[in-house]
Structures are given as C-alpha cells and as structure tokens.
Amino acid sequence: MLESLLVVARQVAVLFALMGVGYVCNKRRVLTETTVKGLVEVLLVVVTPCVIVHAFQRPYDRHLLQGLGWALGIAVLSHALGMVASLCFRSAELARRSVLRFAVTFSNAGFMGIPLEQALLGSDGVFFGAVYVAVFNVLCWSWGLVTMCGSAKEVSTRTLFVNPGTLGIACGLPFFLFSVTLPEAVGEPVKMLADLNTPLAMIVIGYYLAEASFGAVLRCGAAYAVAFLRLVALPCAVLGTVWLCSPPDGTMAVALVTASSAPVAALTTVFAAKYSRDVPLSVGIVSGTTLLSLVTMPPIVGLAMWLFK
C-alpha cells in the first residue's frame, strides 16, 4: 500500500513540476492569455483525439473489449453520482449555482487524468481512460451545458455527438476492433501529437494557477463542499463501487478511479466565462482543487493500485 502511494505521489509531483513551468511562464510574460487560449484549442481539437486514437492502436483482444464495456458503465455511474450530488447546491443565484453544480459533476479527466494514467499505467491506462473522457464530453456538452446556461436551447445534436472525445473514439475504436495499424507516416505523427498532452496540459493549468484569486472561494462556504465532494467523496464512492463489482481488469479499475479523483474540470471556467456566470468563483475552485489534489489523489489512486494490481 505504501509503495503504491509513493508511486502515485511521485507522478503527481512530476505533473505539478510541469505546472510550475506554466506558472513561471505567466509571471515572466512568456505566455499571454491569447497564446494559452490557442494552446487549449490545440489540446482539445488536435491532441485529445490523437491521444485516444494512439491508445487504440493495438490488436483486438476480447478481454480488452469486455473491459471497455465495464469502463463505459463505471464512467456513466461516476458522472451520475456527480449529478445527484450537485443537486444539494440550491443557491437562488443562478450565476453561482451553475458553477457549483458543474464543478462537482465534472473532473479534469482529460487534462489531469490522462497524463497520470499514462505515467502510472501506460497505454493500457489511456485505453480505458479514453472511455471516461468520451462520456465526459457527451455529458459536459449536454447536461453540463444546460446546467451552466440555464436553458436546453443551447444544446445541439451536432455538439452532443461531434466533439473531441467522441471523434477520437469513433476513429480509434474501429482500428482496435479490426486490428488495423496505421502506416508509419500517419501513426508516428499521431503518437508525437499524443505525447504533447501531458506537458501542454500541465503548462496551461499552471498558467491559470498564476491567475487565480482565492478570495471568492474562501468567502464561499459551498466551495468547500465542492472540494470535498469532487476530491474525496465521489472518488471514494467510485472506488468502493468498482471494488464491490470485482471488475475483470485491474488496470481499467485504476484508470477509472484516477479519472474520477481528478480535480474540477478546467472547462468550468471556460463555460462560466462564455455564459457570464461567476468566473472568479470558477477560477478559484478549479485552481484550489488542483492544488488540493496533490494531497488527495495519491492516497485514493494508491489504494486503487494496491487493491486492483
């Protein structure tokens, strides 16, 4: 157990070291807001699909396919638990309530979860983590959008099904099912772009950490509840459920627990800004839970590794 905890702690520390690069780049004005927004677009539109496609570059295996089914069910359950938990926030002020509910439901499974899964579990971890990201994308651009903007009119069928996560699955899954290997001229660039996910994502998060003002969070009692639910209660609920279900693949179990234990999704701030919600609160929650995850993720993910591997 102690060995697993130390392994996770070391990898989380590496990710935070990369965030430190983004922090310094902000303070030294090496990066600007416009540049970072461009990096986020590259991460979402280019790098995320490449990560998923590369993870599916493997021969078909019936046991892996079975694990994908389990991963889909656990990912849906994890988000459903978050949706239910989010209903406890009943603030009359829509701007604040929207941020709190969105933050509880969605973890930073893509920008924080995938890099940690890659570091701890290799391509197998990303293989299963990709399913969580796909579910995240579908629910984020449907239920999450309605929650943040307060109206179902903003949800389009195209946005629901055509997003980076679902596109990556749609392209990568057939390669796995039919054991198709991309030619080197295509596969190697895909791999190189996928390798950008960890450093770019951490630098972006570090940049926004430098911009964070924690005053809005410290004055909001509900933000403490969000942090506890997002970082402790929900991941532990997912861990307990997976353990009771005795999944067929330990790597899959650890990958899904890792994704669910990640801090609040960075898209919380993106959506808050787009729909004129409480942006300072969103920035504070995303940044605060990211810092707290240095303490919460190692024991939870370490316990998962000890139980399932």
List the one residue out of 190, 216, 243 whose CA is nearest residue 96: 216
Query: CA triplet 237, 5, 210: central angle to 5 degrees?
Result: 85
The CA distance from 301 to 216, in Å, is 30
Residues whose CB falls within 8 Å of the CB of residue 92, separated by 6 or more in sequence, listed in order? none
Beta carbons of 113 and 107 less than 8 angstroms apart? yes
pLDDT given for residue 165 in this prediction: 73
pLDDT given for residue 104 in this prediction: 96
The CA distance from 206 to 171, in Å, is 31
CATH of region 2-308, choose from 3.40.50, 1.20.58, 1.20.1280, 1.20.1530: 1.20.1530
Per-residue pLDDT of the chain (309 residues; tens, 9 = 90+): 677 777 788 888 888 888 899 999 999 999 998 898 888 888 888 988 898 898 889 899 888 888 889 999 999 999 999 999 999 998 768 889 999 999 999 999 988 888 889 888 888 898 899 889 888 888 888 898 889 887 777 667 777 677 777 788 889 889 999 999 999 999 999 999 988 988 888 888 888 888 877 776 777 888 999 999 999 999 999 999 999 988 888 999 999 999 999 999 988 887 887 787 888 888 889 888 988 998 999 999 999 999 987
The CA distance from 149 to 97, in Å, is 11
Residues for the chain: how many in total?
309
Phi, psi of 129, rounded to the nearest 5 degrees? -65, -30
The CA distance from 167 to 70, in Å, is 20
The CA distance from 269 to 197, in Å, is 20
Q: Is 54 left (phi over 0), alpha (psi -120 to 50) or beta?
A: alpha
Domain ranges of the chain: 2-308
pLDDT given for residue 193 in this prediction: 94
By three-state DSSP, how is residue 107 classified?
Answer: strand
Beta carbons of 305 and 254 less than 8 angstroms apart? yes
HEC secondary structure over 265-302? CCHHHHHHHHCCCCHHHHHHHHHHHHHHHHHHHHHHHH
Distances in Å between the alpha carbon of 271 and those of 56, 93, 268? 30, 17, 5
Phi, psi of 275, rounded to the nearest 5 degrees? -110, 20
Residues whose CB falls within 8 Å of the CB of residue 9, separated by 6 or more in sequence, listed in order? 298, 302
Phi, psi of 213, rounded to the nearest 5 degrees? -120, 120
Q: Which two tokens stand for residue 8?
A: 């996770």
8-state DSSP, 214:
T
58-82 exposure pattern, b = at least 16 Cβ within 10 A, e = fewer: beeeeebeebbebbbebbebbbebb
Phi, psi of 88, rounded to the nearest 5 degrees? -75, -15
Beta carbons of 112 and 293 less than 8 angstroms apart? yes
Q: Which two tokens stand for residue 183?
A: 């030619």
Beta carbons of 51 and 164 less than 8 angstroms apart? no
